[in-house]
Chains A and B, each alone.
Chain A
Amino acid sequence: MKNNTLANKDNRVDGVAKVTGAAKYTAEYQFPNLVHGVLVGSTIAKGKIKSIDTKAAEKSAGVVAVITHKNGDKIYGLKKAKRAQTLDLGLRIFHAKDIHFSGQPVALVVAERLEQAQHAASLIQVKYETEPHTTEFSANMASARPTTIPWVSDLKRGDDGAWEKAPVKIVQEYTTPVEVHNPMEMHATIAIWESDDKLTVYDKNHAVQDVRDTIAKALDLKKDQIQVNSEFIGGGFGSGLRVWPHTFAAIIAAKILKKPVKIAVTRPQMFTMTGYRPATWQKMSLGATEDGKLVGIRHEAIGQTSEYEEFAEGVTGITKMLYACPNLLTKYQVLPLTVSTPIWMRAPGETPGSFALETAMDELAHALKMDPVQLRKVNYADKNPEDGKPWSSNHLMECLQGGVKQFNWKPGYVEPGSVQKGDWYVGRGMAVGSWAAWRAPATALARLDSEGNLLLQSATSDMGPGTVTTMVKIASEVTGIVPSKIKFELGKSNLPPSPGQGGSVTVASVGSAVYEACEELKQKLITIAAGMDKNSYKEAKPDELFFVNNKIAIRNRPDSLIKLAEVFDHEKIKEVEVVKASKSAEGSDKYAFFTFAAHFAEVQVHRLTGVVRVTRFTSVVDAGKIINPKTATSQISGAVVMGIGMALTEELHFDHAHGRPVGADFAGYHIPVNLDIPADIQVVFINQPDPYLNKMGAKGLGEIGLIGAAAAIGNAVFNATGKRFRSVPLTPDKLL
């Protein structure tokens, strides 16, 4: 692609709107007659509602409705019980007396003002019949069972007992806790029934068409009867990839009341009503030769799910493909607990999986007294061990080299606990990560008006990575139109189809659609202009076409300059429009598409207080060609912060007697603050285009910065102190 020379070319196109408040987030929309709903959550984990007294709430000032299982199920298309089981609709609320987890919505209080609804919600009296619940992961592992979700499969390669016969062995167990996405913006929905069978939903999510489809199924409506909007999103990390109970609650209430209903989920409710990263237990068995070559791996994992739905994720996925190892067995099981259903959280599966694998690899390096970087190199896989396919591109070796240089990693083995600076033990650690580079089908519309303004549309989302900015940049680089004349619209379900924003697919997929739509647009202009008897266009290639405000021209053909208006007049059109459906990755039968990263951390551990500080962090990332270095760097450094949170601070505690989370708010759940992260998180990109995934050569980078990050920190803590920690977070109490 050509270089754009504008100084601010990488700044977010919507940055000013966001910092000035002009960008509207879901809960900020206002509509005439809108009423506010507040959800009341169950206080028991399991059992039945015995009685629910709503009288005081109903009489309370401003209250227009109280919805419970007694009156809430009228409009659900779900009345056909079979649908409820076969569709991915999640928890069916206001439907039965059954309680499946603590915090489950049991009532919705709707009032004219939010404060009135909040107050009235506190007046609802619920009596329960309790049943025994099970929330403790470690005490119930025997109840784990194989997953029924087909794409989370187990793998056996070669001799699955080979690790045991190897000269050097590591066998250890690792655990990761429940982590909660906690995006800055809390989930919210506004439901508006335009007519009896036409629904508009403003909903914080990052998969508008998936959300639309789920709602359509639940209500027995057609997709085009439902409009889902989610234009600006204050973070999501996966929590916006499905429909949650509050959305159905708003839809039900709006139907009953014939008024727009807004429900804004509260921060404490964000811990039980909108998903989380499930806790895991993992056992790694590694066998290696004396020089560090892996002989066999066995990776067993259990991840929690709810009792009313099954959630599974690829915890062992990274072990299947990261290292050259002839013998392997992976086994993944789910453990149903009396909790709400988890959901994908940034780099799902690979995040806990890489913590176990990369900590175990560090243990192996230590057992061998080997430089952990060297251990990764020794086990580099030159093709994908999982299916034998060649990598479309794999620059993991360069990531390692780059990290060694950037971080100033002195080659060799460093004895744990050997470096001290005053009261602080100093240590270094590293880990690598990988994430599949996906490309899904996506469609983009490109429309050019006679003034040279380019409008692009696709039903994708921008939950924070800067998708709008990146798409504008791609279009600008393909067309040469200045970014200020390009507009990208997204976040509406009636726009051309796009996958939801998850799995790092957006740039590779939607970006391809935009790229191809822009190319086709240029070809279309050339064809029209050529038909106008403009000789200079006859042989012209799209590459040679360029835009000057409201004119086009062909490079090195001065006679070709022509007003767009004239071109359009010739065809009797007002604008040129192209809708381009871009396919999923071609060659996925031939190549293995993955991104790679190497992380390097330096930590200090206080000898008396157990406090860990991450003093330096370097991530070197192979995500193909980097479209926008500025937003890409933000993605990776943001992921590193999340990795620091996973390593040091983030954990949702449970009270198992009550089957309920404890400290479910920002006082109890600690997200890292600025003082917890190094002043300078160094992000380096290999920036080599992938030759096969798409024309841009971009591989996607939403997840990769997190995978292995926590292990790198844990490994550094080991190197600092000589104490190995196999469960996170490493709060000071554990290090004393």
Chain B
Amino acid sequence: MQLFQYHRPTDIKEALSLFQKNEGAQYIAGATNLLDLMKKNITTPAHLIDINRLPLRNITSDAAGLTIGALALNSDVAEHETVVSEYQLISQALLQGASPQLRNMATVGGNLLQRTRCPYFYDTAFPCNKRTPNSGCGAKDGMNRGAAIFGASEACVATHPSDLCVALAALDAQVIVQSGKGERRIAFSDFHRLPGDTPEQDTVLQRGELITGVFVPANPFQRFAHYLKIRDRASYAFALVSVAVAYRVDNNEVIQDARIALGGVAHKPWRASEAEAFLKGKNNTEAVFRQAAALALISAKPLKHNAFKVKMAENAIIHALNNTI
């Protein structure tokens, strides 16, 4: 670990200006990801701005939707009454992530910004464009079992590891961000990037921008929603593939408004828009789900060791949709 200076602001303005003033600054919240990266010299901030004293822990809801403070703990969100009853995808996704101990430390803002779990990123003996731009991608032709099947580039085949983000993507959430210039809201589907030639950038956040919260619009999916995660062991592992599905049916039992988001398959949570469109106007039966799932994977581009993800994701969609009925 490199030496760093530690700051602990108590209001947002102070945090923003500390960031601007200090070259090599980085926010730190629950530290469950950042500290590991610092210990491995993957991230080497010169200034740590501890944001835990900022007033960003609230979880509130009204008719328009749910607002989760950036510092709300994963465990608190997962057990929040309104979240459990009206935004259950969020609760389900969180509870399948990490371990209770980690969820007690991890914040929502930090979860959005956690870095990939690609093993090539974590071992500094390997080349990795995300860690060290222009060093190459070890995973592309290497042991790429965990790699992306959508949206990857020559430079990077890493996936985004978050479970929560898959649920948030399905629910069309917005990321609330603050900077010296004021507040802006970023649609969730625009928040994380595809790697392209600059895989070192995970999101569209500008330098110094602080996530203050996440807004999730009220949704009609209480009846039909399910988050499914498939992994190498039953708990405490990142997803090989995960999927959040949600839809409502009209009075004639016909599907409206379907949402399908996949995790573990791309550099960002992956919305299966064509499959969503296909479901609209159909009945919720396994036969229909199978067709939608096949459609969702039609443009997948697997690598040597991750071809299984195509079938796995397809089946995960079917299984998750089955679980709603």
Interface of A toward B, CB cutoff 8 Å = 41, 43, 102, 115, 118-119, 122, 268, 423, 606, 608-611, 613, 648-649, 653-655, 657-658, 660, 662-665, 667-668, 670, 672-676, 731-734, 736
Contacts and interface: CB of A to CB of B under 8 A. Distances in A.
A102 B125 CA distance: 9
Contacts of B7: none
A608 B145 contact: no
A667 B142 contact: no
Contact of A658 (B2, B125, B238, B311): B125
A653 B125 contact: no
B138 interface: yes
Given A655-B142, A736-B308, A675 B234 contact: yes
Please give me the 9 A-B residue pairs with the lowest Cβ-Cβ distance, nearest first: A675-B234, A733-B308, A43-B125, A663-B119, A608-B315, A675-B235, A608-B319, A662-B143, A655-B142
Contact of A733 (B237, B238, B312): B312
Nearest to A664: B123
Contact of B232 (A608, A658, A674, A731): A731
Contact of A649 (B125, B126, B228, B233): B233
A672 B233 contact: yes
A121 B282 CA distance: 61
B167 interface: no
Given A41-B125, A670-B237, A731-B232, 4 more contacts: A610-B230, A658-B142, A662-B126, A732-B231
A608 B240 CA distance: 14
B1 interface: yes
A423 B319 contact: yes
A613 to B, nearest CB: 7
B234 A613 contact: yes
Interface residues of B, number: 37
Contact of A118 (B1, B228, B234, B237): B1
A41 B125 CA distance: 9
Given A609-B312, A676-B233, A657 B141 contact: yes
B87 interface: no
Contacts of A122: 41
A609 B315 contact: yes
A610 B241 CA distance: 12
A613 B235 CA distance: 12
A529 B201 CA distance: 85
Contacts of B319: 423, 606, 608-609
A608 B126 contact: no
Contact of A668 (B1, B119, B141, B234): B119
Interface in B273-325: 308-309, 311-312, 315-316, 318-319, 322
Contact of A673 (B117, B126, B228, B234): B234
Interface in B205-252: 228, 230-238, 240
B122 interface: yes
B126 A660 contact: yes
A667 B120 contact: no
Contact of B240 (A268, A606, A733): A733
B130 to A, nearest CB: 16
Interface in B187-213: none
A527 B103 CA distance: 67
Interface in B134-150: 138, 141-143, 145
A170 to B, nearest CB: 28
Contact of A115 (B1, B138, B145, B237): B1
**Residue from the set B1, B234, B322 with the largest chain A CB neighbour count within 10 Å:** B234
A653 B120 CA distance: 12
A654 B39 CA distance: 23
Contacts of A675: 233-235
**Residue from the set A115, A118, A733 with the largest chain B CB neighbour count within 10 Å:** A733
Contacts of A732: 230-232, 240, 312
